[in-house]
Chains A and B, each alone.
Chain A
Amino acid sequence: MTRQTLDFPNVESLKRLAISESGFIFDPVTGNSFTVNHTGRAILQLLQKTLDMEQITKRLQAEYAVDAPVADREAIEFANQLRGCFQ
């Protein structure tokens, strides 16, 4: 499996999300709402621009001063949670 097939929800589902500064997320198509922490919000905002795992981990490393494995793990865990939230 390449990093690019990390099974994030499809990009259209992610792009339509309304992401509030508070971490409150609203999906206008399904009417579902979620809450995320600061890191989750940052990843979601990145995902709205790209699903490229390498770019995401680089941005996480730069923004949160963490090494690559930690950034990778955070993104993978978050992707797993996201899959459960979207059809």
Chain B
Amino acid sequence: MTDKLLTVAITGMNALPDNPGPGLAVARCLREAYGDGIRIVGLGYDALDPGLYLGEYCDSVYLLSYPLNGSELLLERLAEIQALEKIDLLIPCLDAELPLMVALAEKLAELGIKTFMPNADQFERRAKSRLAELAEASGIAHPELKALANPHFFRECEKEGWPYPLVVKGVFYDAKIVANPEQAAAAFHSIASEWGLPVLVQRFVAGEEYNLAGIGDGQGVLLGEVMMKKRAVTSKGKAWAGVATADGQLAEVARKLVAELKWKGPLEVEVMRDAKGDYQLIEINPRFPAWIYLSHGVGRNLPALLLELAMGRPAPAMAAPRPGTMFIRHALETIVPLSLFENLMMQGQCIPEAKG
């Protein structure tokens, strides 16, 4: 008797050097945990997403309809892929697609595709624009934040008690520190054109940034938390090197948030540690971060934990935190036969060449 291999589809294969999507790191974690014991379907939105060509991680790959085109087209495309691949579990990894994926969860389940995501209410409550409300309900410090429909605020903001520097953020993604009205207006327009309105402005917190990744079990319990401090960043402020840390105070911040939301699924909590050593909540990302491979490095493989939870199996034991474990990224060229690129461009799918 031959059991069908578990098939896991992962989005976010845009492992770009300056701003990588998390999908490839999630795939690497699963490959580390299960080897060839699972099939991985890589899902991307652009034929030049680098992770789509890495046969050691993806058994087959497909292009999806952009989230901007709406949930119907996305579901239609996922149904086409499902007919070919018999996906057991889908792990969405990108901010812009997550609202659609959350809304489609029931329809995906009808197609036989499991997910492990928050519901729409949980998802909405952690939105950047509602962060203050959530932080207050959870008893966590946070910098004040405003939603802006236009950039006029930046001309007079200092008179209104909002001195520079400030942080200008998109509703889904992106954040820029600005030092004057000109920089602020430029950041507003750049973010609005990419991520839409409103644009958010947050008070700047002086201190050091820390990130925590974990999984909420849907009952209010945080599982497998892994903490990290960036040690080198790209031009877009993304981690190029980082070191695992372990602080009970930060873990407690994340536990309070997960308990308040009864969060289900992966999340990344971003905080600033201020001059007093207290943590201020900056944002919550409703997905694994791009640095999630560090979780495998510290013996807490979070994508593998998510797979077990999603499949209704007992959660594997997590190793004790290993502060001091580092990661450093590197850029690497993949040689790609033109036929693979052609298949992705013309058919929206291909089978990447296996390593070796």
Contact = CB atoms under 8 A, between A and B. Distances in A.
Contacts of A28: 245-247, 323-324
Given A30-B208, A31-B231, A87 B323 contact: no
Q: Which of A28, A32, A33 has the most CB of B within 10 A?
A: A28
Interface of B: 208, 210, 228-229, 231, 242-247, 273, 275-277, 323-324
A29 interface: yes
A68 interface: no
Interface string A23-56: 0001011111100000000000000000000000
Contacts of B246: 28-29
Nearest to A87: B277
B243 A31 contact: yes
A87 B273 CA distance: 9
A18 interface: yes
A29 B244 CA distance: 9
Nearest to B246: A28
Contacts, number: 32
Question: Secondary structure at chain A's binding surface: helix, strand, loop or mixed?
Answer: loop
A30 B245 contact: yes
B231 A30 contact: no
B323 A31 contact: yes
Contact of B276 (A26, A31, A32, A87): A87
14 contacts: A18-B324, A26-B323, A26-B324, A28-B246, A28-B323, A28-B324, A29-B246, A30-B208, A31-B231, A32-B229, A33-B243, A87-B273, A87-B276, A87-B277
Nearest to A29: B247
Nearest to A13: B277
Contacts of A33: 243
Nearest to B243: A31
A25 B153 CA distance: 45
Interface of A: 18, 26, 28-33, 87
A86 B229 CA distance: 15
A26 B276 CA distance: 20
A29 B228 CA distance: 10
A32 B246 CA distance: 12
A30 B229 contact: yes
Nearest to B242: A31
Contacts of A18: 324
A28 B276 CA distance: 17
B276 to A, nearest CB: 7
Nearest to A26: B324
Contact of B275 (A30, A31, A32, A87): A87
Contacts of B324: 18, 26, 28
A28 B320 CA distance: 13
Given A18-B324, A26-B324, A31 B277 contact: no
A31 B245 contact: yes
A87 to B, nearest CB: 5
B279 to A, nearest CB: 11
Contacts of B276: 87
Nearest to B210: A31
Contacts of A32: 229
A18 B242 CA distance: 18
A25 B273 CA distance: 20
Nearest to B244: A31
> What are the 5 closest A-B residue pairs judged by CB atoms, nearest first?
A31-B229, A28-B323, A31-B245, A29-B247, A31-B243
